[in-house]
Amino acid sequence: MSQDLSGDAHTGHPTAGQYFRIAVILCVITAVEVGIFYLEFLGHWMIPILFVLSTGKFALVAMYYMHLKFDHKLFTYMFVAGFVLAAFVIGFLLILFGVYT
């Protein structure tokens, strides 16, 4: 049987200092996002850049604050299944509506 990982403090979870550092990174990324937003010369490149930066933020919160990095893989699968499927449905609907109009 596998190890119990349901939220014990002593299974290699980050310390308060690490949590704080991640918060700093999150804020920096957000600041960069807002900054990039005002750089008009980026044109259409803005979308992929903002996309990647947001994905990074999302991943940081999910992995560290939600402990997915340290927890059982099953939890990751459950969450990612919903997330990926949602992204798939959004993408497909956008394509279909593009075709439709």
Partner 1 sequence: MAQEHAAQIHGEHEDTTTGLNHRKMLMWAFLGSDCMFFGALIATYLVYQGKSLAGPMPVDVFDIPVTSVSTFVLLMSSMSMVLAYAALTKNNLKGFRIWMISTAIMGATFVGFQVYEFSSFAHHHVDINCSSPGELTDYEQHIFDEGCSNGEAHAESHEGLKPQTNLFGTTFYTLTGFHGAHVTLGIVWLLSLLLLSFKKGMITPEKNLDVDLAALYWHFVDVVWIVIFTVVYLFGVFPGF
Partner 2 sequence: MSTFPISIPRPVHPTGVWGWITTIDHKRIGILYGITAFIMFISGGIEATLMRIQLAGPELDIVSAAVYNQLFTMHGTTMIFLAIMPLSAAFFNFVIPLQIGARDVAFPRLNAFSYWTFLGGALMLKLSWIGGATDAGWFGYAPLTSVAQNPGTGIDFWIISLQVLGVASLAASFNFIVTIINMRAPGMTMMRLPLFTWMSFITAILLVLAFPVITVALIELTFDRYFMFNFFNVANGGSVVLWQHLFWVFGHPEVYILILPAMGIVSEVLPVFAKKPLFGYKTVVLAGAIIAFMGWMVWSHHMFTVGLGAVANAVFTVTTMLIAVPTGIKVFNWIGTIWGGSIRFTTPMLYSLGFIAMFLLGGISGVMHAVSAHDAQQQDTYFVPAHIHYVLFGGAIMAILSGIFYWFPKYSGKMYSEKQGKISFWLIMLGQNVTFFPMHFVGLDGMPRRIYTYVEGMGWEFWNGVATGGVFILIIGFLLVIDNIGRNWRNGKPAPADPWDARTLEWSIASPPPEYNFEEIPVVRSLDDWWATKQGGAHKEIPASGGSGDEGHGIHLPQPSYWPMVTAIGLFIAAYGVVFNDLIVPWGIAAIGLVIGFVGVYAWSFEPVNDPEEDSTH
Contacts with partner 1 by CB under 8 A lie at 1-9, 13, 15-16, 19-20, 22-23, 26-27, 30, 33-34, 37, 43-44, 46-47, 50-51, 53-54, 57-58, 61-62, 64-66, 72, 74-75, 78-83, 85-87, 89-90, 93-94, 97
> Which of partner 2, partner 1, none does residue 99 bind to, with CB < 5 to 8 Å depending on kind?
partner 2
> What's the token pair of residue 28?
């920096």
Q: What is the DSSP code string of 61-74?
A: IIIIIT-TTTS-HH
* CA triple 91-94-100, angle to 5 deg: 145
